[in-house]
């Protein structure tokens, strides 16, 4: 049951991320929130290397903004 909700959440994060990438480009700072939230979900699923990739991407977006 819980796994099903995680799978649904991941599907939604992927959709939101794809939509935001189309709207703002791959380096839009607007992506930071969804990247960070998606990374948290991946950590819950014990997919730490994937989470780290998203966290680094989010951090890079913030660095470019500064």
* pLDDT tens track for 11-56: 999 999 999 999 999 999 999 999 999 999 999 999 999 999 999 9
CA nearest 42: which of 1, 9, 2?
9
| Number of Cβ within a 10 Å radius of residue 5 | 9
Query: 66: pLDDT confidence band, cut at 50, 70 and 90?
Result: low
Confidence (pLDDT) at 48: 97
pTM (two decimals) = 0.90
Q: What whole-number distance in Å separates Cα of residue 32 and Cα of residue 62?
A: 7
State whether residue 38 is helix, strand or coil: helix
pLDDT (mean) for 6-10 = 94
């Amino acid at each position: 049951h819980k796994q099903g909700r995680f799978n649904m959440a991941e599907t939604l994060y992927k959709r939101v991320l794809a939509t935001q990438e189309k709207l703002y480009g791959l380096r839009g700072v607007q992506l930071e929130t969804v990247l960070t939230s998606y990374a948290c979900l991946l950590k819950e699923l014990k997919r730490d290397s994937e989470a780290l990739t998203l966290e680094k991407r989010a951090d890079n977006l913030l660095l470019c903004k500064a």
